[in-house]
């Protein structure tokens, strides 16, 4: 292997981190370093033709339509008041427990995640609804903010998941398999969060405030009927994918159409639909710019042979695959504290995914594990995007208390990560592997 190629790759990666430290947007930093790598390896004339067509060719794919469809469905679901109905149903079922409102907020986050696909959107939506009520009933800021910030992370794991869509695009792994495999880890995560909150509230009753009166079973089932739209959307999207009657893109299109009908039946329908279109377009443009930048960086890096060299080096260590997998997950835990999950996947997959293929780890399992690390990063300082979103939504919260409230959930996530590595059947069993 030509040492000069390796040197060029090291310069590319070093230049990328330098640009990020200087504050350049991730998409532009990726694109600039990728272009530099291509020009160094191929010369300007050979690179010019590729660069003139790549932004279009990298985004003009049918699979990418799923991104705006899921975004639009999530916005319309919020406009239709589905988050409030999910929270009301969860309160009826678990509000009487120790820490019941916090548990209800996590379960409501899990329910809203089935129509959202975004960690930030789920956290912001539930913070607006759940935290004021928890604070009024005597919950500490730590428990109230921590439960909602952590519960919001379910938005990137429980399908539809924007992170899994990007992982599928970056690696070529089947999106249908990823979405189906994510259901059980998502439900297990919500259950562990709920049990953890209940135990924390029993150990420290002062932090959990007053318990709600126990609701009768008739009221509980009526609340589920009241949240029928959430169940309908999830059944349409995931049912169609699981049964194999539709591709993820087709299922997302039908889900968005049903959400549009639900939103159209509400008051101020025109305004909410227009706002949804504008926000969907803005977010989609940002994501597509990241896809273009990451694609250019991957092309530039491929010319340096660094991914192949890294895969060969790891294979030569002769370590058990599980040990290599754990070693690969550690940088994600660190990087997730500074970079959002979508960018992190696009940044790292050109180097990491060849290693995963080399050691024989199931790529679906790895996708779920990486998604779990993005959950941890969303509630970890200094960036902790979900925490800042919760603080921005409820300004009276103390940011230090918010981060302290997330610490138990980081411990739960690490426990879950170990559980999924030790028992891959939890993820892959539904796929028959």
Tell me the whole-structure pTM to 2 decimals.
0.87
Residue range 55-67, pLDDT digits in tens: 888 888 777 888 8
Residue range 98-152, pLDDT digits in tens: 999 999 999 999 999 988 878 888 998 899 999 999 999 999 999 999 999 999 9
Residues in the chain, pLDDT under 70: 1-6, 308, 311, 315
Q: Are 126 and 386 in contact (CB under 8 A)?
A: no
- At residue 247, the 3 state secondary structure works out as coil
Tell me the DSSP string of 273-308. HHHHHHHHHHHHHHHHHHHHHHHHHHHHHHTTTHHH
At residue 4, the pLDDT reads 61
* Dihedral angle sign, alpha carbons of residues 258, 262, 265, 271: negative
At residue 227, the pLDDT reads 81
Question: Token pair for residue 250?
Answer: 């087709």
């Amino acid at each position: 292997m030509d040492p000069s190629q390796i040197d060029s790759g090291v310069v590319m990666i070093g230049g990328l981190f330098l640009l990020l430290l200087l504050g350049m947007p991730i998409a532009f930093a990726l694109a600039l370093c990728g272009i530099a790598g291509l020009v160094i390896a191929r010369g300007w004339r050979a690179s010019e033709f590729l660069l003139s067509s790549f932004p279009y060719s990298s985004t003009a794919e049918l699979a990418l339509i799923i991104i705006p469809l899921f975004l639009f469905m999530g916005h319309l679901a919020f406009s239709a008041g589905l988050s409030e109905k999910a929270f009301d149903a969860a309160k009826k079922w678990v509000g009487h427990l120790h820490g019941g409102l916090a548990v209800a907020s996590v379960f409501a986050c899990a329910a809203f995640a089935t129509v959202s696909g975004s960690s930030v959107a789920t956290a912001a939506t539930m913070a607006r609804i759940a935290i004021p009520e928890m604070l009024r009933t005597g919950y500490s800021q730590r428990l109230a903010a921590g439960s909602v910030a952590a519960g919001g992370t379910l938005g990137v794991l429980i399908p539809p998941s924007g992170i899994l869509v990007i992982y599928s695009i970056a690696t070529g792994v089947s999106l249908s398999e990823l979405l189906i495999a994510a259901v059980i880890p998502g439900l297990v995560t919500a259950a562990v969060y709920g049990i953890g909150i209940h135990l924390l509230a029993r150990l420290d009753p002062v932090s959990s405030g007053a318990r709600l009166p126990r609701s009768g079973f008739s009221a509980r089932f009526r609340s589920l009927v009241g949240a029928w739209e959430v169940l309908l959307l999830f059944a349409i999207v995931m049912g169609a994918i699981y049964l194999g009657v539709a591709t993820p893109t087709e299922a997302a299109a039908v889900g968005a159409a049903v959400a549009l009908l639900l939103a159209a039946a509400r008051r101020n329908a025109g305004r909410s639909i227009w706002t949804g279109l504008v926000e969907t377009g803005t977010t989609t443009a940002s994501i597509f710019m990241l896809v273009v930048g990451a694609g250019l960086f991957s092309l530039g890096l491929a010319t340096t042979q660094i991914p192949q060299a890294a895969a060969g080096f790891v294979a030569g260590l002769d370590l058990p695959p599980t040990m290599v997998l754990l070693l690969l997950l550690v940088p994600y835990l660190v990087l997730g504290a500074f970079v959002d999950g979508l960018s992190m996947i696009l940044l790292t997959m050109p180097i990491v995914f060849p290693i995963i293929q080399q050691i024989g780890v199931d790529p679906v399992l790895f996708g779920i594990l990486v998604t779990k690390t993005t959950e941890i990063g969303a509630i970890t300082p200094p960036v902790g995007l979900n925490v800042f979103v919760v603080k921005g939504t409820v300004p009276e919260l103390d940011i230090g208390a918010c981060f302290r409230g997330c610490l138990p959930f980081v411990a739960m996530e690490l426990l879950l990560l170990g559980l999924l590595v030790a028992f891959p059947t939890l993820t892959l069993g539904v796929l028959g592997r």
